[in-house]
C-alpha cells in the first residue's frame, strides 16, 4: 500500500506567479495595440507618400489585423471580468460556507466520539478542513491580483478552480451530514447508503471490464482460469454488496460494520485485479511482453493523470447504468474535497492511503500496463466501461 502525505494531496496555497502573469497581461496589451495600429498606420503611410487614390483605402488584411487587435483586447477584458466575478462570488459565499462548516463540525464530532468507523470519518473531516484552509488562502491571494495579471488566462483558470473547490467543499459537507443520517438510520439513510455503494459498484464494473480484456492478451490456461474465477467472484460480491443494505435494515449489522465491509470488498477487488494483471504480464514471453512486465515491476516512473484519479459517478449492472455522486461518499475517495492525486505515482498495488486511512482510486489505470505498446509513454489506460457518464442523466438510469 502506498502512503501519501496529506500535503501532497492538497493543492498547496501558493501565491500566484504574479510577475509572469503581469508580463503576459502587458504583452497582451502591447500585441493588441500593435495589431490595432495596422489600419491607422496604412492611412498614415498613404498620406505621407501620396499613394494613388485606389491605394489609399487599406486592404482587407489591414482591417482584419486591426480587428484581431481589438479581439485580443476584448479577450483580456473578458478574462479580467471572469476572474473578478469568480472572486466576487467566492468572497460573498465564504461567510455562508464558513457557517455551514462550523455547523457540520458540531454535528459530526459526536460521531467521532462514538468511535464508529472513526478512522474513515476522521480522514473525511481532516480532508475537508485541509480543503477549507487551502480555499481561504487561494481567495486571499487572488483578491490582490494586480491589473495586468488579471488579464492572463492562467488567472481566470485559477479562479474557476476556486469555484470548483467551493462545490467540492459543499459536497464534503453533504457527505458528513449524510454520515450522521446513516448512523442514526434517519428516514433518508437509504439514499445515503445507495450513494455509498456507488464507488464499490464502479470498482466492480471497472475490474470486470479489465478482466474481460485479459484473454485477448494471454492464452495461458492459468491466466484464463484466474480471469474466469475473478468474473464469478465479482458477481458474488455484487450480491454481497446488495445484501448489506438489507442486513442494516434488519438490524443484523450496524452502518459502521456495513461501511467496514464495503472497505474489505474494495480492498480485495484491488488485490485480485493486481494478481491477475501480474500473472497475465508474467506469462507473456514475447519481447514486448517482457518489457511490459519489467515496466510493471519497476513502475517506470508512471504518473496518474487527472482523468485516471476520479470516479466517473456511474456503474453498470445487468445492462442498466446507474449514477451517483462520488464526491458525497462518506468513505474517502479521490473525488473527496482536499484530495488531489494528479501526478502521483501510478502504483501497481492500486492501494493508496491519505490522512491515515484508505483512499479509494478507480483501478482503471492498471489497464495501461496490459496495453502499453512499447513506444508511447502511455497506452490507452481508461477502459471504456460505460457508454459515457455525460450521457447519463443525473441520478437516473438507462436501459
What is the distance between the alpha carbons of residues 268 and 265, in angstroms, rounded to a whole number? 5
Confidence of residue 9 (pLDDT cuts 50, 70, 90): very low
Q: Which of 213, 211, 216 is nearest to 227 (CA)?
A: 211
Q: Which pLDDT value is given to residue 98? A: 75
Contact residues for 73 (Cβ-Cβ < 8 A; gap 6+): 28, 29, 32, 36
The segment with the largest mean pLDDT, out of 82-91, 162-171, 202-211, 349-358, is 202-211
Please state the rounded mean pLDDT for residues 329-357.
87
Q: Which pLDDT value is given to residue 383? A: 45
Question: Which grid coordinates are listed for 387?
Answer: 457508454
Is residue 228's pLDDT more than 90?
yes
Q: Which pLDDT value is given to residue 229? A: 95
> What are the pLDDT digits (tens) for 137-167?
777 766 667 666 666 766 677 776 777 777 7
What is the distance between the alpha carbons of residues 244 and 262, in angstroms, rounded to a whole number? 9
Is residue 266's pLDDT more than 90?
yes
The segment with the largest mean pLDDT, out of 2-16, 144-158, 269-283, 293-307, is 269-283
Contact residues for 187 (Cβ-Cβ < 8 A; gap 6+): none
Contact residues for 39 (Cβ-Cβ < 8 A; gap 6+): 58, 62, 63, 65, 66
Helix (H) or strand (E) holding 316: strand 314-317
What is the distance between the alpha carbons of residues 235 and 274, in angstroms, rounded to a whole number? 18
What's the DSSP call for residue 157? Answer: H
Is residue 57's pLDDT more than 70?
no
Model pTM above 0.85: no
Q: Which of 222, 165, 221 is nearest to 338 (CA)?
A: 165
CB neighbour burial string for 225-235, b if at least 16 within 10 angstroms, e if fewer:
ebbeebeebbe
Please state the rounded mean pLDDT for residues 202-223.
89
* Cβ 237 vs Cβ 265: under 8 Å: yes
Please state the rounded mean pLDDT for residues 269-289.
91
What is the distance between the alpha carbons of residues 148 and 27, in angstroms, rounded to a whole number? 9
Please state the rounded mean pLDDT for residues 204-220.
88
Q: Which pLDDT value is given to residue 170? A: 84
Please state the rounded mean pLDDT for residues 216-234.
91
Strand partners, 321: 316, 398
Question: What is the residue-averaged pLDDT of the chain?
Answer: 78
Please state the rounded mean pLDDT for residues 328-350.
87
* Cβ 340 vs Cβ 131: under 8 Å: no
What's the DSSP call for residue 55? Answer: H
What is the distance between the alpha carbons of residues 224 and 351, in angstroms, rounded to a whole number? 25
Question: Residue 284: how many CB atoms within 10 A of its CB?
Answer: 19
Please state the rounded mean pLDDT for residues 339-346.
83
Q: Which pLDDT value is given to residue 285? A: 85
Is residue 131's pLDDT more than 70?
yes
Q: Which of 86, 364, 78, 81 is nearest to 209 (CA)?
A: 364
Q: Which pLDDT value is given to residue 241? A: 92
Residue 296 or residue 105, greater confidence: 296
Strand partners, 79: none
What is the distance between the alpha carbons of residues 169 and 173, in angstroms, rounded to a whole number? 6
Please state the rounded mean pLDDT for residues 275-288.
90
Amino acid at each position: 500500500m502506498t502512503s501519501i502525505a496529506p500535503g501532497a494531496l492538497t493543492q498547496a496555497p501558493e501565491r500566484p506567479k504574479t510577475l509572469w502573469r503581469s508580463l503576459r497581461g502587458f504583452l497582451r496589451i502591447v500585441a493588441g495595440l500593435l495589431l490595432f495600429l495596422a489600419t491607422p498606420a496604412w492611412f498614415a503611410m498613404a498620406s505621407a507618400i501620396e499613394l494613388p487614390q485606389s491605394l489609399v483605402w487599406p486592404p482587407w488584411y489591414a482591417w482584419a489585423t486591426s480587428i484581431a487587435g481589438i479581439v485580443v483586447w476584448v479577450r483580456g477584458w473578458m478574462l479580467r471580468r471572469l476572474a473578478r466575478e469568480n472572486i466576487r462570488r467566492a468572497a460573498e459565499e465564504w461567510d455562508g460556507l464558513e457557517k455551514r462548516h462550523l455547523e457540520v463540525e458540531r454535528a459530526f464530532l459526536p460521531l467521532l466520539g462514538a468511535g464508529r468507523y472513526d478512522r474513515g470519518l476522521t480522514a473525511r473531516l481532516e480532508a475537508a478542513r485541509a480543503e477549507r484552509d487551502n480555499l481561504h488562502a487561494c481567495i486571499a491571494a487572488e483578491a490582490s491580483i494586480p491589473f495586468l495579471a488579471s488579464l492572463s488566462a492562467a488567472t481566470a483558470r485559477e479562479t474557476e478552480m476556486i469555484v470548483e473547490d467551493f462545490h467540492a467543499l459543499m459536497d464534503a459537507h453533504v457527505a458528513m451530514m449524510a454520515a450522521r443520517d446513516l448512523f442514526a438510520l434517519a428516514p433518508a439513510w437509504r439514499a445515503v447508503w445507495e450513494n455509498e455503494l456507488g464507488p464499490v459498484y464502479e470498482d466492480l464494473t471497472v475490474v470486470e471490464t479489465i478482466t474481460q480484456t485479459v484473454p485477448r492478451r494471454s492464452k495461458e490456461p492459468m491466466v484464463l482460469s484466474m480471469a474466469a474465477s475473478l468474473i464469478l467472484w465479482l458477481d458474488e460480491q455484487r450480491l454481497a454488496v446488495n445484501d448489506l443494505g438489507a442486513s442494516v435494515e434488519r438490524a443484523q449489522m450496524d452502518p459502521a460494520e456495513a461501511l467496514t465491509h464495503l472497505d474489505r470488498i474494495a480492498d480485495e477487488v484491488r488485490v485480485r485485479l493486481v494478481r491477475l494483471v501480474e500473472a497475465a504480464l508474467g506469462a507473456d514471453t514475447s519481447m514486448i511482453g517482457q518489457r511490459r512486465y519489467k515496466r510493471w515491476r519497476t513502475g517506470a516512473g508512471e504518473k496518474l493523470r487527472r482523468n485516471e484519479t476520479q470516479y466517473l459517478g456511474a456503474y453498470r449492472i445487468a445492462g442498466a447504468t446507474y449514477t451517483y455522486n462520488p464526491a458525497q461518499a462518506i468513505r474517502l475517495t479521490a473525488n473527496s474535497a482536499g484530495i488531489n492525486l494528479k501526478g502521483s505515482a501510478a502504483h501497481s498495488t492500486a492501494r493508496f492511503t491519505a490522512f491515515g486511512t484508505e483512499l479509494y482510486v478507480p483501478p482503471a489505470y492498471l489497464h495501461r500496463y496490459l496495453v502499453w505498446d512499447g513506444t508511447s509513454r502511455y497506452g490507452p489506460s481508461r477502459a471504456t466501461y460505460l457508454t459515457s457518464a455525460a450521457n447519463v442523466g443525473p441520478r437516473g438510469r438507462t436501459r
